[in-house]
Amino acid sequence: LHRNPGESEFHQAVFEVLESLGPVVAKRPDYVDAQILNRIVEPERQIIFRVPWVDDQGTVQINRGFRVQFNSALGPYKGGLRFHPSVYLGIVKFLGFEQIFKNSLTGLPIGGGKGGSDFDPKGKSDGEIMRFCQSFMTELSRHIGQYTDVPAGDIGVGGRELGYMFGQWKRLTNNYESGVLTGKGLTWGGSQVRKEATGYGTVYFLDEVLKERGESFEGKRVVVSGSGNVAIYAIEKVHQLGGTVIAASDSSGFIVDEAGIDLELLKDIKEVRRARISEYVERRPGSTFSSNGHTIWSVPCDIAVPCATQNELDEDDAATLIANGCTLVGEGANMPTTQGAARLFSEAGVTFAPGKAVNAGGVATSALEMQQNASRDSWTFEHTDERLGEIMRGVHDLCYETAEEYGRPGDYVAGANIAGFNRVADAMLALGVI
Ligand code: NDP
């Protein structure tokens, strides 16, 4: 704590992982001798930089940029960039730390990192977004590369922002090195299914959890928070598998549509027009919008899938979900559930599947994009989706079996933390004290 003052989200993420590792430490004195735990919580490198840009009024604006290169034992640093006014070092470090174990769980050769800026893309013109992205990449370009560090999108960073950043990279380096960023557009080095991957992968994972219980999505009432990249494609896949998503949200409030969210309408509002979710009710009779009082978790459901942001589901929300009969919570977002809420779920026998396993499909498909870039190939949607499905089944089974092996059957948190950690720890041991 004293080495990282004020970084509350980072502390939370570290405690959550360390809490699971008691049985590992007991079994592996060689990890203790090599100080693996002390090494793994310290980023290999962190970069903080000035991002100056000029707004549409001609005024100079200054933001702060971050890239935390956390662990490269398994491969080049890999993890997204987040543009949101709440971004500071503690958030980037929590995300980078989680990313190490998530990437390890995929079984693919990628290390962990994360970055971003306190820049707020909301309400900015296209020109402002472009100038900001160009300035951000001007500094970031010194630190990344296909064998070094490969950023991608996250909150506030989608295809448009990645396009402007890749354009600036190419201009600065005179190098069409597609593998330096993932989440690219399909006409300039991107992969099929990357846009859908985190949401689809989340639902593939939860489908495996349901299968373990002899159930499926068929006929289930599902609440998905957020209405960004992860939420939209989670909703799409739930509907394809026979469930009904009845509520979604953004930072201004939530909508309820008992008939099932009209996804084409939601995509039009959020992806095309970049507008507020409250517009949904104006165009969809029978739906409602709430912006104060209760949270989206007050809507009764069988399955809850938080897909917005960290700590969006607290103990009060957990108590309400439990009282309303929810039996499965799967984190599409990174650390959306507070530790207190996760504890309540565990005590009440609600299956709780943590983000580092559930949402690993996004980064896994990014690694597939890197494979395609390296071989100058481009796979079909069906082939890529099949690979994503296989990877998510693999992540699920690894978590499930590891939990059993360590005497914690059905505990996906323990399974994910232990399995993710062991692979990185073994690589760190093999590479020596570096
Ligand atoms: P987007 O920016 O596309 O969407 C984020 C959504 O969450 C928006 O609906 C946004 O509403 C809402 N939101 C953001 N901040 C808050 C807040 N403070 N309170 C309430 N709502 C909020 O991001 P993504 O969908 O890409 O990311 C969502 C989560 O998933 C994040 O935790 C991210 O780290 C995680 N994730 C994303 C991956 C990816 O591939 N994109 C991969 C793995 C994890 P509004 O528009 O009003 O801000």
Residue 396 has pLDDT above 90, yes or no: yes
Model confidence at 244, pLDDT cuts 50, 70, 90, reads: very high
CA of 34 to the centre of ligand 1 (A): 37
Task: Report which of 366, 412, 365, 418 is spatially closest to residue 149, judged by C-alpha positions.
Answer: 366
- Residues serving a catalytic function are 114
In the chain, what's the furthest Cα-to-Cα distance?
Answer: 64
Cα distance between residue 256 and residue 214, in whole Å: 29
Tell me the pLDDT of the chain averaged across its residues. Answer: 97
Residue 230 has pLDDT above 90, yes or no: yes
Residue 71 has pLDDT above 90, yes or no: yes
The answer to whether 411 touches 14, Cβ cutoff 8 Å, is no
Which CATH number applies to 195-358?
Answer: 3.40.50.720
What strands, in cross-sheet order, belong to the sheet with 77-83?
45-54, 60-71, 111-117, 77-83, 149-152
How confident is the model at residue 293, as a pLDDT? Answer: 81
Residue 243 has pLDDT above 90, yes or no: yes
How confident is the model at residue 162, as a pLDDT? Answer: 98
Q: Would you say domain 44-190 falls under CATH 3.40.50.300?
A: no
Nearest CA, atom 38, ligand 1: 154
Q: Which residues contact 281 (CB under 8 A, 6 or more apart)?
A: 255, 287, 288, 289
| Residue whose pair of structure tokens reads 């599409």 in the numeric block | 332
Residue from 12, 198, 230, 310 to probe ligand 1 pocket by mutation (most atoms less than 8 Å from CB): 230
**Residue that wins the pLDDT comparison between 70 and 2:** 70
Nearest CA, atom 43, ligand 1: 359
Model confidence at 2, pLDDT cuts 50, 70, 90, reads: confident
How confident is the model at residue 183, as a pLDDT? Answer: 97
CA of 31 to the centre of ligand 1 (A): 35
Structure confidence by residue, pLDDT tens digits, 284-324: 999 999 998 889 999 999 999 999 999 999 999 999 999 99
How confident is the model at residue 1, as a pLDDT? Answer: 78
Can you tell me the mean pLDDT for 332-355? Answer: 97
- β-strand pairing of 60-71 with 45-54: antiparallel
What lines the ligand 1 site, CB under 6 Å? 153-156, 198, 226-231, 250-252, 307-309, 312, 332-334, 359, 362
Domain boundaries, the chain: 44-190, 195-358
| Residue whose pair of structure tokens reads 């998503």 in the numeric block | 245
Cα distance between residue 218 and residue 252, in whole Å: 30
How confident is the model at residue 61, as a pLDDT? Answer: 98
Can you tell me the mean pLDDT for 73-102? Answer: 98
Cα distance between residue 266 and residue 13, in whole Å: 32
Structure confidence by residue, pLDDT tens digits, 99-158: 999 999 999 999 999 999 999 999 999 999 999 999 999 999 999 999 999 999 999 999
What amino acid is encoded at 366 in this protein? S
Can you tell me the mean pLDDT for 37-48? Answer: 98
Ligand 1 atom closest to Cα of 360?
Answer: 43
Please report, to the nearest 10 degrees, the dihedral formed by the alpha carbons of residues 206, 381, 308, 292 taken in order: -100
Phi, psi of 261 (to 5 degrees): -60, 130
Task: Please name the helix (run of DSSP H) or strand (run of DSSP E) that holds residue 299, with its range, or none.
Answer: none
CA of 157 to the centre of ligand 1 (A): 10
How confident is the model at residue 414, as a pLDDT? Answer: 98
3-class DSSP assignment, residue 288: strand
Ligand 1 atom closest to Cα of 250?
Answer: 11
Residue 198 has pLDDT above 90, yes or no: yes
How confident is the model at residue 349, as a pLDDT? Answer: 97
Model confidence at 253, pLDDT cuts 50, 70, 90, reads: very high
Q: How many helices (H) and strands (E) does the chain have?
A: 17, 12
Tell me the CA end-to-end span of the chain in Å, nearest whole number: 23
How confident is the model at residue 368, as a pLDDT? Answer: 97
Which tokens belong to 213?
Answer: 């219980």
Number of residues that make up the chain: 434
Model confidence at 382, pLDDT cuts 50, 70, 90, reads: very high
What whole-number percentage of the chain has pLDDT above 70? 100
How confident is the model at residue 377, as a pLDDT? Answer: 95
Ligand 1 atom closest to Cα of 366?
Answer: 40
Residues annotated in a binding site for NAD(+): 198, 229
CATH topology identical between 44-190 and 195-358: yes
Can you tell me the mean pLDDT for 19-33? Answer: 95
Residue from 88, 160, 251 to probe ligand 1 pocket by mutation (most atoms less than 8 Å from CB): 251
Residue 434 has pLDDT above 90, yes or no: no
Nearest CA, atom 4, ligand 1: 228
Can you tell me the mean pLDDT for 349-361? Answer: 98
CA of 105 to the centre of ligand 1 (A): 22
Can you tell me the mean pLDDT for 268-284? Answer: 96
C-beta atoms surrounding 3 within 10 Å:
7
How confident is the model at residue 137, as a pLDDT? Answer: 98
CA of 133 to the centre of ligand 1 (A): 19
Cα distance between residue 197 and residue 366, in whole Å: 9
Residue from 200, 229, 233 to probe ligand 1 pocket by mutation (most atoms less than 8 Å from CB): 229
C-beta atoms surrounding 56 within 10 Å:
10
The answer to whether 366 touches 194, Cβ cutoff 8 Å, is yes
Can you tell me the mean pLDDT for 57-72? Answer: 98
Structure confidence by residue, pLDDT tens digits, 199-220: 999 999 999 999 999 999 999 9
How confident is the model at residue 424, as a pLDDT? Answer: 98
